[in-house]
Amino acid sequence: MKAPGEKINSFEVARKQIDIAGEHLNLAHGLLEKLKHTKRELIVHFPVKMDDGTVQVFTGYRVQHDVSRGPAKGGIRYHPDVDLDEVRALAMWMTWKSAVVNIPFGGAKGGVQCNPKQMSLCEIENLTRRFTWEISSMLGPEQDIPAPDVYTNPQVMAWIMDTYSILKGYSVPGVVTGKPIELGGSLGRLEATGRGVVITAVEALRHLEKSMEGIRVAIQGCGNVGGVAAEQFQRLGAKVIALSCSSNAIYSEKGLDVKRVLDRKARYGCFVCETQEEREITNQELLELDCDILVPAAIENQITEENAPRIKARIIVEGANGPTTPEADEILNDKGIFIVPDILANAGGVTVSYFEWVQNLQELIWSEEEVLERLTRIMQRSFKEVLEISLSKKIPMRTAALVLGIGRVAEATRLRGIYP
């Protein structure tokens, strides 16, 4: 057991998951070991001129885990706690995620150690453009395609695209996804991850022979994943009883008015109670609420062996990457909680990123209805494939998703062989 306050190493978690899945895959030891390592890693330390005229040096990372099935794909996050092992783990999870939904991408991830909440828009632009320049040798539509992640957004992607295009001497919209629509972004991309969470939640309820109407949902996170999912859940008749941000959470047993609550969050920067039914709670209390569906949609390692015994949700749908540790998984599985794992539940983002990349390469524009229909079909098919493995092998859904994803990557690796 980890000591109180000790940081959980996400890369150790990701590698342990490979061992767990490997018990159900007939893979050579050397192949399994290869999949535990990243393909290439770049660490850069770069100066940025701040608004007050001073120069600060930032540390950034870009990691490619595996490219056996296609170009590396993965977001870039700006966060004070970014480190190399976190980025390695996230890149690895991107590999499995792309394989689970069977799109031709490998896995990558990037990040910069910074606090964008304390930076001006101009400073964030300066940081983005210099970071892009530093890692540009790894980027390209056929090589490595970044996307938004924690505290990055379509504007950041626009700056990356512009900087890379200046370097190449011509416009290269396919170098990133999650761009503004005006620069070749895809309709439906901003909402894609949250929508994917809800689509898989609907499939989980269908499997468990339950209706969405009146289902109580608690969501940790209120951004492009948690906030979008909350609106979608409410639209389908569910009762969203709790939402959180990085500083606090809001709870109402009768259900929140999601749009009004999110509007208040945007206005004040945190959740503010407005009615007698609403009360402020902590992120930890949110995770332990009595609810039907819990959606951890913030950051990694939120459900651990310490708090897993107190989780009361019937279903967990993971909007975040790596929110549950392997030790917590064992506890939750013993309690009979049905888990839709991250590499399946939040794969809507990379799926629509694939659509955007295809549109850019072929100079096409798909309607939002076409994007949503394709996304729904892929997410439903992937859920069914993972569920069939889970039932046939009598293993948890996370292990089944890893078996599916790792199996596909391993087969591609085997077919390509080792050179020379």
Token pair recorded at residue 81: 């706690």
- 49 part of the active site: no
- Within 8 A by CB and 6+ apart from 52, the residues are none
CA distance 397 to 404: 10
Tokens (6 digits) for 170: 């011509």
Long-range (24+ apart) CB contacts under 8 A made by 251-254 are: 251/218, 251/278, 251/279, 251/280, 251/281, 251/285, 251/286, 251/289, 252/277, 252/278, 252/279, 253/277
Among candidate residues 73, 97, 109, 179, the one labeled active-site is: 109
Instruction: Count CA atoms closer than 13 A to 40's CA, side-chain side.
Output: 11
Catalytic residues: 109
